[in-house]
Amino acid sequence: MTLMSVSPRPARRFDRGPVVLGIDPGTASTGFGLVERRGSTLVSRGGGVISTRAEEPMERRLAAISSCLGELIAEHRPAALAVEDIFFGRNVRTAFAVGQARGAVLATAGAGGIPCFAYTPQAVKLAVCGSGRAGKDQVQRMVAALLGLGDPPASDHAADALALAICHANQMPLRAEASALGARIPNT
Amino acid sequence: MTLMSVSPRPARRFDRGPVVLGIDPGTASTGFGLVERRGSTLVSRGGGVISTRAEEPMERRLAAISSCLGELIAEHRPAALAVEDIFFGRNVRTAFAVGQARGAVLATAGAGGIPCFAYTPQAVKLAVCGSGRAGKDQVQRMVAALLGLGDPPASDHAADALALAICHANQMPLRAEASALGARIPNT
């Protein structure tokens, strides 16, 4: 199992804002991205990929993903975790595999008391690119631009995870306002 | 979250044989069944259902399943965990939901160092009833007969989990023999 970090930035603990952890679950590669909200600005706290080897038994691969995620949660104490919503266009085999990885991720977040929020791919693209039909390249470029990264994330999975984190971080003020008014935006 | 036990038997620690934990994963109801192999005899060590409430967020439901399973593993130290193989006949929505629960289960087993084995529903029915086409009722009656239970398990999920555990417990001598000869029967 490897944990590859891209463009992390040192945290300035004294003025730390809420952090969102975006996760793009997959058995072979689980992308992660940490985005901190400082007032109206979003700052990358790093991102990368948790990789597991196909030769390993499935239970060990999922335990490795859970363990790495547990470390990220312990270190960064995210206020929320954002994942992709269930995408029913995929075939049964893919749905099952993604479901397994997502189950390991959500169980770990739940054990750590981190609330989880799901967004459709269209909602994420709309939040990041201004269009629900944007391509992979455009998402990667916009993630870099919005977070002030020198280069787009090298990994698709990390870029998708950062985009998910941006999408939720953008909604935080709206959710806080709704909550103050006694309303609630559903998590999923 | 509730953990409902059916027909547990006190363990006689001094002559304890290997225990197999069968799991029938589901978000609302996860069946579990513990079967101990004592020589050529199979003995029930109990079974039941881990239930979670639909009103709870998914991450908490999966964390509760993982936590209950962790307790079962810590208490009974199973030599193996048996789950149903991926069943691709189901629709995408079901595959995703079952996949999520299965992912939480496998990650927990992996973290506890418990090897996992998957069996198709047909293989389980064949092992328990002598026919791959047996119905639910027949499985429940045969589980009770094979384990010497007074009554069939009240829950379908617990019965399916016990059937999975019986199926793997039956294969243990064959797997041990294959392993001694340097061969290996694949886990899934």
Mean pLDDT of all residues in B138-162: 94
Distance CA A85, CA B187 (A): 31
Choose the CATH number for B3-180 among 3.20.20.80, 3.40.190.10, 3.40.640.10, 3.30.420.10.
3.30.420.10
The radius of gyration of chain B from alpha carbons, rounded to an integer in Å, stands at 16
A185 at B interface, C-beta within 8 A: no
Nearest one of B53, B13, B19, B23 to B36, comparing CA atoms: B19
Per-residue confidence (pLDDT) for residue B128, from 0 to 100: 95
What pLDDT shows up at residue B10?
A: 52
**Residue A103 contacts B where some CB pair is shorter than 8 Å:** yes
Which residue numbers of B are catalytic?
24, 84, 156
Domain boundaries, chain B: 3-180
Q: What's the average model confidence in pLDDT over B78-103?
A: 87
Q: Report CB contact under 8 Å: A103, B108.
A: no
What pLDDT band is residue B49 in, cutting at 50, 70 and 90?
Answer: very high
> Contact B92/A94 with Cβ under 8 angstroms?
no
Residues of chain A with pLDDT under 70: 1-14, 87-90, 184-188
* Residue from A92, A105, A116 whose CB has the most chain B CBs within 10 Å, to mutate: A92
Q: Can you tell me the distance from the alpha carbon of B17 to that of B35, in angstroms, rounded to the nearest whole number?
A: 10
Residue in chain B lying closest to A108 (CA): B63
- Token duo for residue B86: 């991926």
pLDDT band at B86 (very low <50, low <70, confident <90, very high): confident
pLDDT reported for residue A89: 67
Which amino acid does the sequence have at B168?
H
H helix intervals, A8-57: none
Q: How far is A32 from chain B, CA to nearest CA, in Å?
A: 17
On the question of pLDDT at B182 being above 80, the answer is no
CB atoms within 10 A of CB B186: 6
User: Which residues have C-beta within 8 Å of that of residue A115, sequence separation ≥ 6?
Assistant: A80, A81, A109, A187, B57, B59
Percent of chain B past pLDDT 70, that is, above it, reads 87
Q: Would you say residue B127 has pLDDT above 60?
A: yes
Q: Mind telling me how many Å the CA of A129 is from chain B's nearest CA?
A: 28
* Contacts of residue A76, Cβ cutoff 8 Å, sequence gap at least 6: A11, A19, A21, A34, A45
Specify the pLDDT at position B80.
Answer: 97
B92 touches chain A (CB under 8 A): yes
Instruction: Answer whether B115 sits within 8 Å of A57, measured CB to CB.
Output: yes
User: CB A110 to CB B86 under 8 A?
Assistant: no
| Residue percentage of chain B with pLDDT more than 90 | 68
Which ipTM did the prediction report?
0.87
For the ranges A140-154, B6-20, B157-171, the lowest mean pLDDT is seen at: B6-20
pLDDT of residue A7: 46
Measure CB to CB from residue B97 to each of A57, A99, A110 and give the nearest one.
Answer: A99
Within an 8 Å CB–CB cutoff, is residue B1 touching chain A? Answer: no
